[in-house]
Amino acid sequence: MQVQVRDNNVDQALRVLKKRLQREGVFREMKLRKYYEKPSEARVREKAEAIRRTRKAARKQAIREGLIAAPKPKEGAATRGRSR
């Protein structure tokens, strides 16, 4: 993966690289491969992840259809961690 450094701005290039690696799932993959995971444990984890994804998708679909109310936004969530 390559990132162009413009105007000798290495900090910005590192941020872009980190964001791309995050999107590709490289950090998650590194975390999972840090230790050996038995195939049976991997199957259990993957099944649990699939169940979580399915429930999340169903919850979002129900919110879109108006079957359940949307969750209330948390305090300070509008700024997403940015302090001004």
The 10s digit of each residue's pLDDT in 37-83 is 999 999 999 999 999 999 999 999 999 998 888 888 888 766 665 65
Q: Are residues 13 and 29 in the same domain?
A: yes
Same domain, 6 and 25: yes
Q: Are 20 and 46 part of one and the same domain? A: no
Looking at the fold, whether 3 and 16 belong to one and the same domain comes out as yes
Q: Is this structure's pTM higher than 0.75?
A: no
- pLDDT attached to residue 70: 85
Give me the helices (H) in the chain, please.
10-24, 26-33, 39-65
Expressed as residue numbers, the domain containing 60 is 37-68
Q: What is the dihedral of CA 19, 20, 25, 29, to 10 degrees?
A: -90
Number of domains forming the structure of the chain: 2
pLDDT digit string, tens, across residues 5-44: 999 999 999 999 999 999 999 999 999 999 999 999 999 9
